Amino acid sequence: MGIALIWCLALILIRWMTSKRRGAISYDSSDQTALYIRMLGDVRVRSRAGFETERRGSHPYIDFRIFHSNSEIEVSVSARNVRRLLSFQRYLRSSRFFRGINVPNSSNILDDDYNGQAKCMLEKVGNWNFDIFLFDRLTNGNSLVSLTFHLFNLHGLIEHFQLDTMKLRRFLVMVQEDYHSQNPYHNAVHAADVTQAMHCYLKEPKLSKSLTPWDVLLSLIAAATHDLDHPGVNQPFLIKTNHYLATLYKNTSVLENHHWRSAVGLLRESGLFAHMSLENRQLMESQIGDLILATDISQQNEYLSMFRSHLDRGDLCLENANHRHFILQMALKCADICNPCRTWELSKQWSEKVTEEFFHQGDIEKKYHLGVSPLCDRQTETIANIQIGFMTYLVEPLFGEWARFSNTRLSQTMLGHLGLNKASWKGVQREQSGSGDDVDPAFEEMDSDILPQEPRLS
């Protein structure tokens, strides 16, 4: 009787909170880009395939029933009322709790030995050879929460912005849980790795003496949330499957817009900056969006061209807030694709994980006769070919220009690892094909503006 009463009270509480919480991100109705998102309500866009895909929380749900039938698929809204309280990932955890199933504590009380080792690693969080995989194991899968909380404290952000540490931890736990652990690559460990790389860049002499606490705050939040709620497939996949996110964002920076809006939703839900003025909160949300949107790889040419032009003219002035913000965009772009610039032991793991995710998408596309996306066919592609093309056409040009901007020991270390890793993959390629000259044609189709040039160090 007592258990039943507790269960009923819990359901009543959830429904009451649901009625109170309809987290929405609304923008001026004159803006033509999507402009009202219910983070926890129903967002439905009719698919040309003949059914409505339902948004379940902030999880970009992909329903493969679309490929089996063109008939209308009825969805019982009443059966999902409780799900609107939390995003899909957090719903799973809360539902286990209310069913009496043991849920691991997100704050993870580790034994003294593991705690000690994790703390020792955090003392060297600014080292470029930081092993995020080991750190994730030592923190029992909580690398993003542990590392980002530590960096907030290390940079003095908690004190400077008078942050409530409980709200900060709650925000970071929600962020970590809204990454999809089943994704081989785009998961919370990748987010933690990017955040650690961003911290390394923030420490660079040119930046460290110019950045304000506001700049550092935006950079760390953007790094931690830059792939939030990533579905494990790319934008072309969402477009050709008529996913509601593609429609919502008009096929433009679909994933990046979703990551940004999801991050804003969690910021508002956590109340982390509720003590700030509305004007400052809106400015923060907008500038975090600028940083996250810069990670869209399809915009690489545009950002790289602007960066080169500034460096050629020598007109970057970090006393200028706009110039600092642009450099932070470039820094986040570097952090996002810095895997080939890590040591071979770390870089190889990331290469295998991202290729596994590509191939998983390709398997789905084959199964449903969608046409396999470039780099996603495990029958014709190899990790070595993909990585060599990636390094040649994307990583080398970007990091060559970054080294022009910040010619430091870290920049030279990254370029050194990049060269060694590329040579290692060419060795693998020769073993597989007997030739070291093959470059994946998917990369050769890219605009010539992004082709590698000789790094000009200054």
Active site residues: 186
Which residues pair with residue 38 across a beta bridge? 24
Cα–Cα distance between 295 and 42 in angstroms, integer? 28
The answer to whether 259 and 227 are in contact (CB under 8 A) is yes
Give the alpha-carbon dihedral of 37, 39, 43, 47, to 10 degrees.
Answer: 90
CA distances in angstroms from 67 to 288, 319, 360, 365, listed in the order given: 36, 54, 17, 11
Tell me how far apart the terminal alpha carbons of the chain are, to the nearest angstrom: 76
Query: In terms of residues, how long is the chain?
Result: 458
The answer to whether 182 and 231 are in contact (CB under 8 A) is no
